[in-house]
Amino acid sequence: MTGSQRIPRHVAIIMDGNGRWARSRGLPRVKGHEQGVERIRPIALACAERGVEYLTLYAFSTENWRRPRREVRALLQLLSRAMDRKGEAYLEDNIRLRLVGSVERLDPALQQKVNEAIELNQHNTGLTLCLAFDYGSRAEIVRAARTIASDLDGSEVTEETIEQRLYTAGMPDVDLLIRCGGEVRLSNYLMWQSAYAELYFTEVLWPDLDEAELDRAFGEFSRRNRRYGALDGGGDA
């Protein structure tokens, strides 16, 4: 990566491919999820080194509760262990944790563990690492609409009114959205926030995502002309 390249302020990643990573190695799916958790810190540090301010990772969707109970239980155990081990590490890395989504469906002990890890890092000043947990974009927008309905008395509803009630309130919109694993869809992820995001789809599975592939995504982002609906220099839409 050259110093002249534009760096996205907010990067969002769909961490797809954990199960396929494990299957290709003859391992149970949970091993893929374990390896996926181990990739979070190196990718967060790589983004921080390149000047990214916000990194949002799709850790667990509202639809993931429909997976087999054994897999859901394993994912929640991984979350618990990650909060135990990563909280102190992120404190050392000057990374600030933030939740995008909800922990209301977790048991009280795990809720407390997540909240304590976030509290531990709230004064850090480096990259903000947002974990999208129990997150779905449609559910987020419905939640925002419900709070507007209860808060406002016939006042005008604007984009800002909605943005202030999203989980990402106060954060910039997504500049670059990366999806790992070869799938080409958004999967109900940050749809409002990604209205003008540049999309980068890679065959690389999340547990294999490295700095070289991250730099390829950033290089592609830097080459694109972000017009936000305006005409380019040639006058074509």
Q: In this model, does residue 234 exceed pLDDT 50?
A: no
**Is 17 within 8 Å of 206 (Cβ atoms)?**
yes
The pLDDT tens digits of the residues spanning 71-95 come to 999 999 999 988 887 777 898 999 9
Domain 15-223, second-level architecture: 3-Layer(aba) Sandwich (3.40)
- Give the rounded distance of the alpha carbon of 169 from its chain centre: 14
Q: Which of 10, 188, 199, 184 is nearest to 101 (CA)?
A: 188
Segment holding 97, helix H or strand E: strand 96-101
Widest distance between CA atoms in the chain: 59
Q: Phi and psi of 14, rounded to 5°?
A: -95, 110
Mean pLDDT rounded to a whole number for the chain: 92
The pLDDT tens digits of the residues spanning 137-183 come to 999 999 999 998 888 765 788 999 999 999 999 999 999 999 999 99
Cα–Cα distance, 33 to 39 (Å, whole number): 10
pTM: 0.92
The whole-number average pLDDT for the span 94-111 is: 95
Q: Which of 199, 194, 210, 201 is nearest to 180 (CA)?
A: 201
What pLDDT does residue 225 have? 86
The pLDDT tens digits of the residues spanning 169-221 come to 999 999 999 999 999 999 999 999 999 999 999 999 999 999 999 999 999 99
Point out the residues that are catalytic: 16, 64
